[in-house]
Structure 1
Amino acid sequence: MRGFQACRALTVAVLFLAGAALPTAPASAGAAPPAESTSPAGASAAGTALEISVSSISPAIARPGQNVTVTGTLDNPGPTAVPAPRVRVVLGDQPLATRKDVGVWAEGTGPAQGRVVGQQQVRAAIPPSGSVAFRVEIPGAAGLRSPAYGALPLSIEAGGSALHTFAGYQRQKEYEPLRVAWAVPLTIDGESDLFGSPGEARDAAWSRALGAGSRLARVVEATEASPVTWAIDPTLVPSLLPQEVEGSAEPGAPAPQPESAAGARTAMEQRIRASATEHTPWVLPDVDADLAAVADAGGGLALTSALVARSSSVASALGGRADIAWPADGRHTAARESVLRRLFADPPLAGQLAAQSTLPLTGGTQDAHRRSADGLPVLGYDDALSALLAQTTTPASAALSTQRFIADSAALLDERPGTPSRSVLVAAPRSFDPDPSGAAGLLRTAASIPWLDTVSTDELLRDARRAVPMPKQVGTRPGATTPPSAGRPGGEAGPPAAPRDPYAASKPLLNRARLQNLQENLRTIRGVATIREDGEEFSRIWGRASEQLASTRWRVPPARAEWSTLSRGVSGAIDETTRSITVSRSNINFLADTGRLQVTVANDLDVAVENVKLTLEPATPRLRIDSQPPVMRIGAKSRATAIVGVTTLAAGSVPLRTTLTTPDGTVIGQGADVVVQVTPTGDWVYWTLGGFAGIILVLGIWRSVRRKPEPVNAAEPLPTSQGTA
């Protein structure tokens, strides 16, 4: 629908020209010249179509005696020149008494029934792929209709092509002004490389997300000079988050980043922080956690509560608040409110944003400031007006959206023109991707509309605390729009169906099982980080990535695949550690009653690990573990031996179950089968060995005693005495 609106803004009701345009004298305001004949589409001899676009209608609100100037272009996309056409502005007969009337006129195509209030003859032919500007004056626009204020239905026509728009006017004030507040989310789109491993891909992703020309940069530029409430994802201000989350420096200034990412991240943070106090900032739960999915699934409450609580310090630094819930699907129900109150514990939940189309209807368009049956302030944003802000994607679509905003707000006021303190909230969707100058122009124009008073969202919240409670209701389906004739007096239809916010229209990506898995992965990452030598960096990168998987940003279809990619990256980082630390498989023969076993643990990581705890548990009672081994430190790509004290109780084969854990009990690594063949000896072994030793000793002595002197050999000559003759 959004794409259709943008296309329609640029190229509307294209018909073929019928030969050369006839010259016509300018028509004065109020005169009704004969109806101009037009040729049906496809009947043009030239065979070329024109496209009409409007760049501005000025002034935004015409006062008595002022002329309204309509400027725009005629484009010739065809291969042949188009003879000089005549541009005329027709004031349509369509009444604009209700918001439905406004929608019917805006969506209409083709030449209008009415009177010509201004025209211009183009002086030259339009060449192939060329364009020509036009400028038409509407004299005395404020006096063309009888109501004292409102909008004029205008049809810009050239050679049978027509574009429907509006012009605002006021002769005098006959109403109580309608208060209007604005809310715009500052969030980033889902891209897995933003939160993956450091490197060129990650740096490039941050440049795309936050650099010049990025969607977020356009949002900030469009809203920076206007009094809109910014709803900020803390991911955009990393220096205000705890150091273990983003590795930030002192909270006072942005932390230095690698050179390739510094420009984008630091510049955006400084820009947001410099302007935040002027935008009544709301700080969303960290990572813009998907509150709608969590509340409906009933899982991931511990993780989400931590993300909600973390935003309080960020809000304090920005001079804002962190107690407003903005579910992406725009629904409020009593059951969801109960869960949100549990998530927002300190500070307690102070309010919720919801689409008016999902809230109870009691006649006419409801005020923005409302209160639930259980007393929670609820700010209901107007679906149709919010969609017009979202459609300011190009200069041409922004011009049409601005004029329709004037007409729709006037019709909204006319539902109860004399009622004081009425309010309307306009909230951009998270997918808001504006043309900066066009969106800023709509905001400036809205500020100049005399029947609108711009107020802060804080003022609406104060009023909501005193509002009459709404009846309890189940809530409509996500992304629903106000049904026609629902609860309107006399069956009057409501505002036209607005294009559906893609975040609200998409089914939640997160369910109970996925939320529980995110919590388990986060616990594992933090446990693994306590043993890795690079634990602080590991926890900061992959813990943050795991938290980001709980974000709203992944709801829209293009980002759902990115969620899966990032999820696999987180699982891979966990598996790398848990699979790289292993107990070596072995078979041990143990021939003693007591003693020590040796078990080898290998570390295949590129970093050392420490405080690794090995626990052994015998599968049978034949062997008793007397003392578990002390915690180990294992170098990168190395092995270490654990010493275990054991006592044997019976002979046999004993499998040992081995478990590797971190100090906090997180199971890591992979155990292996260690089988011990136990052969206990007992006391008889020592008596037997002692007896054998005694026998050997006695035999040795006996052999020594029995040994006799060697006899003298008779053949040896006897020694003779010296001096014998």
Structure 2
Amino acid sequence: MTPARLPLPLLALMGILSTMWGGLLSPAGASQDPVDAVELRVRAMPVWHEPDDRLDIEVEVINRSTDPVRNFRLVVGVEDRVTSRTALHESFTEPSDFQPSSFPQDIHGSLAPNQSRTVRIGARAEELDLLEESSDSGVYPLTITAQDRSTFELLGRLSVPLIFYPQKPEQTLKLALVAPLNEVATIDEGGEFVTAAQSGRPPLEAALAPEGWLTGMMEALGAARDSGLNVAVAPTPRLLEEVKALADGYQEAEGVSGNGSGTQAAARTLLSSLRVLLGRRGIQRVLVPYSWPDLPALTHAYGNLGGEQINLQIAVGRAALARTLGRSFSRSWVLAPAGRLDAATAETLSLGGTRHLIASQDSFTDGSFDPESSGCPEPSASFTCPVSVATGAARMTGYLSDPDLQERLAEIAAPGHERLDLQRFFAETSQIREEAPGLSDRVVQTTLPSLWHPRPAVAQLLLTTLAQAPWLETVTLEEGLSLAENRRTKALVKRAERSVDEPAGSYWAEVRSAQELTKQFASLSPPPGLLQRLQKAVLVAQSSSWWVKAGAQELSGESYIGGTTADIQNELAKIGFIGKDEIILISREAPIELVLSNETNYRVKLTIDLLSDRLVFERRRFTERVAPGTHSIEIDAVSESSGAFPLVARIFTPEGYSIADKRLTVRSTELNVIAVGITVGALLFLIVFYTVRALRPKREGEPAAAANS
């Protein structure tokens, strides 16, 4: 039934009474205040309205009191068009106490405590005199008030931005949207999928289901592109590697198999669909570092080696994208996670060949926003111009992401009033356009939250509306740069502030330690697959996604660090010396025999070092490739003395990391040359002496033998 339009004086009186009663129940400026007896929620509505459209707003009415609510009505009122973004933001949280144009809609029946009912407001927009008589496009705050029909007592209130376009605008606002595809890792450092506690299946299986967020986002991107959406798509390489693992089939530790399953088919379909999408006109590919790391954090955590880490993340990411999608991603555009950049990080990117950036407002110095350059192209307007940044290597161009649009998108991603938050986002874009409706080259940039996993219907509504909204025209990042006539020079901060979610310095120390151990392990020349898995596990530990979202079960950045370290130590523990602890030398020059055991299943490159202060070795330190099994190694040695003395045999990686050592006792039984000479000389003397004495003749008069005396 179409509600009757009430005379303005009566409506004014109702508004005043509503305000008086509302002051008794809740603060005058509060929207959806917890003490309201009735909570109102938008469930559905058109994103924008034209004069002949019905309002068609579905509102859920929830009784939050402890008593039944009877005999109430909804009063729908509209205020004058907002003329600034500040006024728009105020309307979100502080709706006016009085609307000059309104009408009531009675609600029959009653609501028990905690009971809810969905009410459709189907009146035409022209039922609101203000809209019927207006020819101005823009945002009109619409307030829906629940009130008692008898006393006009305010029971609850909701403010909704109504976007009204009597005619299609001649000039549109250009919107450069970036859509990341990101998720925390779900394959552990050992290469196995970690299952979700509730389902016992890998979390990506739910994302790839028909109603999963990843499937829904891909379908929404494809459908919106069919409707004219131009967008930059930025898939995280690590996520696609894990989808590829599902597509190839897997067997995880508990025996859960993905071979031949619907998930395997869904993973293959997603990779194929993404490959096709990235080849379509109007879709720009944007490169993301391998595991979605915070780039300034890497710069500062690694000091002079921070640039090396950033380049490693980018190189590994590009290779993973090429392998999983068969598509090349230029390094010309690199999406810094969360838009966080500083001068040192931009310098690294620029030296590596990156020419364009997308940065948050916090990445720029305060001086970049003086009154004359705070708005663009006019100081009084929002900043909608591309930026230019000077680095030591080259000048970079790109975008300053609109902070209010980013805030609106963050509200959509957070649990709460999903449809209302979407409407506020669209209203924000409309208000930016209405600041300077006659300009055609205004380009504003925004990026979807990286870990936003919307329901398919929400993703469809957002992206399709952006493609069809009469006040908007979506462009790729490249197109936006070419369309805009103005580029404002701005300066990046010297050092980005530490993110509030960033882990402590001790965490980064553990990451660096695990990475150094991985580097040492690499010098053994282990199988490429094993080495790459461990190297990538350290890169995953660098991801900033762990800072804001917990992984499946016990998976975390710390688990990748600890697991990688433990896996390498377990491999190194398979290498060592075995056998007896004593070596006997029976000659001055003799080979020393050592028995080395390699219990890995691959050849390793080892450096062996021998240390003794009484042995001279032909090879004291040498490097050998050792096959699996037990091997005898002989080293020629020269003993410098006899007796027992120690020998220490040590095994290192070629890079110098100690793997194992063994202390042996060497016993040399070789007679000393001088001692032998003296002994032999003394013996010869005695032999000669007694021989001469025995043969000498006896003299006359010599006394008889002592025996005869």
Q: CA deviation at 1:452?
A: 1.4
The number of equivalent residue pairs is 618
1:317 to 316, 326, 344: 326
- Aligned residue for 1:68, secondary structure, equals coil
1:524 to 515, 520, 523: 520
Q: CA deviation at 1:600?
A: 3.1
CA–CA distance in 2 between the matches of 1:266 and 1:685? 83
1:648 to 639, 643, 658: 639
User: Which residue in 2 is equivalent to 1:715?
Assistant: none
Contact 1:54-1:70 at 8 Å conserved across structures: yes
TM-score, normalising length: structure 2 = 0.76
- Aligned residue for 1:183, secondary structure, equals strand
What per-residue deviation string (whole Å, max 9, x for no partner) do you get for residues 618-660 of structure 1? 242x211124688475757xx5433222111234654333232
User: Which residue in 2 is equivalent to 1:61?
Assistant: 48
1:151 to 139, 154, 160: 139
Q: Which amino acid letter does the alignment assign opposite residue 323 of structure 1?
A: S
Matched, 1:349 2:369: no
- Equivalent residues in 2 for 1:248-327, closer than 5 Å: 255-258=248-251, 260-261=257-258, 263=263, 265-278=267-280, 279-297=283-301, 298=303, 299-312=305-318, 314=321, 317-318=326-327, 320-327=329-336
- Aligned residue for 2:610, secondary structure, equals strand
What per-residue deviation string (whole Å, max 9, x for no partner) do you get for residues 443-464 of structure 1? 3233333221111122124457
2:184 to 189, 192, 195: 189
Matched, 1:225 2:211: no
Q: 1:167 to 1:599 in 2, by over 3 A?
A: same
Matched, 1:335 2:341: no
Q: 1:376 to 1:441 in 2, by over 3 A?
A: same
Q: 1:25 to 1:305 in 2, by over 3 A?
A: closer
What per-residue deviation string (whole Å, max 9, x for no partner) do you get for residues 337-388 of structure 1? 112223xx2xx10211112454422133212521113420122211221332
Contact 1:612-1:661 at 8 Å conserved across structures: no
Q: CA deviation at 1:671?
A: 0.9
- Aligned residue for 2:326, secondary structure, equals helix
Q: Which amino acid letter does the alignment assign opposite residue 96 of structure 1?
A: V
Q: 1:554 to 1:369 in 2, by over 3 A?
A: same
User: Which residue in 1 is equivalent to 2:610?
Assistant: 617
Q: 1:331 to 1:301 in 2, by over 3 A?
A: closer
Q: Which amino acid letter does the alignment assign opposite residue 401 of structure 2?
A: Y
Contact 2:288-2:336 at 8 Å conserved across structures: no
CA–CA distance in 2 between the matches of 1:403 and 1:208? 31
Matched, 1:363 2:374: yes
Contact 1:593-1:682 at 8 Å conserved across structures: no
CA–CA distance in 2 between the matches of 1:48 and 1:181? 40
- Indicate the larger mover: 353-362 or 225-234: 353-362
- Indicate the larger mover: 447-456 or 287-296: 287-296
Matched, 1:207 2:204: yes
Q: 1:363 to 1:285 in 2, by over 3 A?
A: closer
CA–CA distance in 2 between the matches of 1:239 and 1:563? 17
What per-residue deviation string (whole Å, max 9, x for no partner) do you get for residues 402-452 of structure 1? 322333223222333333301011211222232331232133233333221
2:14 to 18, 35, 39: 35
CA–CA distance in 1 between the matches of 2:604 and 2:188? 32
- Indicate the larger mover: 269-278 or 162-171: 269-278
Q: 1:527 to 1:271 in 2, by over 3 A?
A: farther
Q: CA deviation at 1:216?
A: 4.1
CA–CA distance in 1 between the matches of 2:290 and 2:193? 24
Q: Which amino acid letter does the alignment assign opposite residue 198 of structure 1?
A: E
- Aligned residue for 1:277, secondary structure, equals coil
CA–CA distance in 1 between the matches of 2:296 and 2:159? 38
Matched, 1:100 2:109: no
- Indicate the larger mover: 558-567 or 151-160: 558-567
- Aligned residue for 1:114, secondary structure, equals coil
- Aligned residue for 1:517, secondary structure, equals helix
CA–CA distance in 1 between the matches of 2:386 and 2:438? 18
Contact 2:142-2:160 at 8 Å conserved across structures: yes
CA–CA distance in 1 between the matches of 2:397 and 2:290? 22
- Aligned residue for 1:295, secondary structure, equals helix
Contact 1:402-1:442 at 8 Å conserved across structures: yes
Q: CA deviation at 1:200?
A: 6.3
User: Which residue in 2 is equivalent to 1:673?
Assistant: 663
1:121 to 78, 97, 106: 106
Q: 1:197 to 1:173 in 2, by over 3 A?
A: closer
CA–CA distance in 2 between the matches of 1:79 and 1:116? 33
Unaligned runs of 5+ in 2: 27-34, 148-153, 376-381, 685-709
User: Which residue in 2 is equivalent to 1:237?
Assistant: 240
- Aligned residue for 1:182, secondary structure, equals strand
TM-score, normalising length: structure 1 = 0.74
Q: Which amino acid letter does the alignment assign opposite residue 569 of structure 1?
A: G
CA–CA distance in 2 between the matches of 1:682 and 1:328? 74
CA–CA distance in 2 between the matches of 1:409 and 1:302? 39
Q: CA deviation at 1:280?
A: 1.7
- Aligned residue for 2:429, secondary structure, equals helix
Q: 1:274 to 1:553 in 2, by over 3 A?
A: same
CA–CA distance in 2 between the matches of 1:692 and 1:218? 103
Q: 1:543 to 1:373 in 2, by over 3 A?
A: closer
Q: 1:666 to 1:30 in 2, by over 3 A?
A: farther
Q: Which amino acid letter does the alignment assign opposite residue 157 of structure 1?
A: T
CA–CA distance in 2 between the matches of 1:25 and 1:665? 83
Q: 1:311 to 1:562 in 2, by over 3 A?
A: closer
Q: Which amino acid letter does the alignment assign opposite residue 390 of structure 2?
A: A
% identity of equivalent residues: 19
CA–CA distance in 2 between the matches of 1:43 and 1:417? 41
CA–CA distance in 2 between the matches of 1:438 and 1:201? 27
Q: CA deviation at 1:182?
A: 0.9
CA–CA distance in 2 between the matches of 1:283 and 1:79? 54
Unaligned runs of 5+ in 1: 1-23, 241-245, 480-503, 695-725
Matched, 1:553 2:545: yes
- Equivalent residues in 2 for 1:401-550, closer than 5 Å: 401-462=421-482, 467-474=486-493, 478=497, 505-507=500-502, 513-514=509-510, 516-528=512-524, 530=526, 535-550=527-542
- Equivalent residues in 2 for 1:656-671, closer than 5 Å: 656-661=647-652, 664-665=654-655, 667=657, 669-671=659-661
Q: 1:216 to 1:686 in 2, by over 3 A?
A: farther
Contact 1:61-1:169 at 8 Å conserved across structures: yes
